[in-house]
Each structure stands twice: as C-alpha cells, then as structure tokens.
Amino acid sequence: MSAEEIAAGLYARVRGCQLCALAKTRTLAVPGEGPLAAEVMFIGEAPGANEDKLGRPFVGAAGNFLGELLAAAGLGREEVYICNVLKCRPPGNRDPLPAEIDACRDYLDEQIDLVDPLVIVTLGRFSMAKFFPNQVISRVHGQPRETAGRFYVPMYHPAAALHQGNLREVMLTDFRTLPALLARARGQAGLLQAGGAPPPRAPAPAHGADSLNGDPASGVAPIAAGATLEQQRNDGAGAPPTIEKTDAPAGALAHRQNNGR
C-alpha cells in the first residue's frame, strides 16, 4: 500500500471518528494537509471556527500569520505538513480536554510516522506538551532539541501574536532560525544516505512517554501547578536558542529500526 493510500485511509477514519463528544458538535473534522514527504511538520492545538467549516488547518487569521511566519523561514505552505493535536473544534474554541487529546493521540502518532519529518515544530502549549512535558513555553520557545536524529522546536501558537502584539516579532525571530536547523537536519540525513551512522529518527512518543523532557538539570523550569496559558506567556523572555540532545527510549529506536521510513 502506498503512502498516499495509507494517508487517505487515515483521513477517512478521522473524518468519520466518533471517539469523543466533539463528533457531535463539529461541522467537519480536520485531519491535516501537506506533502507526505515534507521535511517539516507543524502541529497546532485544535481547529477553530474557519477550520471547522472548511475541514482544513490554519485557514483563519492565525493561518494568515502562519503564512507570514513560514515566509520568514524561507518556506512555502505547500512544502510543509500541517496538522493539530485535536482533529475537531472544541465548542467555543475552549482548551482541549485530556480525554479529547487522548482520543486523537493515535491519529497524530500515525501522521508523524507516515510523514517522518526531519523537524517537528509545535505551535502552542498543548502540542508542546506532547514532546516537552512539564515545560513553560515562554522559557523554551525557539529552543530545539534533538532526539534520535529528529529535531523538535516549541513555538508560540500564531494566534497568541494576534492577541499579544509583542509576541509577533518574537515568533518571527524564532521562525528565522528554522533554515539553519533544517540544513543541519538535512546534513545528518545525508550522512545516513552516504553510509554514515547518525541515529535513526524516533517515532512519536508512546502514550505517557516523557521522551524529550531531558535532564532535570537542564535549567528549564517546569510549568507551575495550575498555571494558566496567560501566565505561561508572561513568564519571562526565554534563553537564546540552543540545540539540546536527548536520548530516545530504547523502544522507539527499535521501532524505527524495524519499520524503516
């Protein structure tokens, strides 16, 4: 079965999904879109009103700003893969609930394994939490981590800049670091093709896995218990971008070695 056929089946399952109560309130599910050979994957939080109507991710005002951010990174929307943690819009654009995130978890994991990107960029707190649990977005935004040959970069959600104008330039600055990061990722992939031995890329973390949490001595503070998104956004300016390496779980490495790209 080709990658396109696998994707078509996955998207059909998402569009017909009844795993949580959002199936009763959505207009259209939003599986995601982009080339299956994309080098960069962007993962947002959940569809909004416009996305719910059209069945496509990031088509509203936040999507327009995402286009500007992509341009700052020298990327076109047609080059990248875009999806969300949730595939259906939460009523009133409220925050995703844990049960809803869990219901969509396998869909997102399948997308990551199918596209197998060199770089994953998380947009917002809820997508960041999948790969950077217990972190504060204002302290780690724009700071990539490398795990098993793949780079992960937490970024603010584009909608945050629409509500807080001071974040606009912060996000543009963060996105301008992506070309160098992508070049490094391509270089490592080239080593593999040339017979070198960089570590294989890891699949999406298993449920509950803390694969990118890194060393407690990393200097990145955890999210305070009960902290709101607004508190996190105002929790300091964050350190300059650095690349932090962490080891993937043994099971993740074995999965990639056994299943290939």
CB 246 within 8 A of CB 211: yes
- The least confident of 48-52, 67-71, 240-244 is 240-244
Whole-number Cα distances in Å, 192 to 183, 185, 196, 198: 14, 11, 5, 6
Which residues, 6 or more positions from 65, have their beta carbon under 8 angstroms from its beta carbon? 158, 159, 161, 162, 168
Tokens 């902290």 locate to 227
Token readout for 38 is 């994309």
Q: Write the pLDDT tens digit of every residue in 200-219.
A: 555 555 444 444 544 333 33
Q: CA 162, 77, 234 angle in degrees (round to 5)?
A: 25
- pLDDT of 127 reads 97
More confident of the two residues 195 and 1 = 1
Q: Among candidates 100, 133, 149, which has minimal Cα distance to 209? A: 133
- pLDDT of 204 reads 52
Q: Which CATH superfamily is domain 3-259 in?
A: Uracil-DNA glycosylase-like domain (3.40.470.10)
Question: Does 234 have pLDDT greater than 90?
Answer: no
pTM summary value: 0.78
DSSP state of 38: -
Q: Write the pLDDT tens digit of every residue in 71-111.
A: 999 999 999 999 999 999 999 999 999 999 999 999 999 99
Domains in the chain: boundaries: 3-259
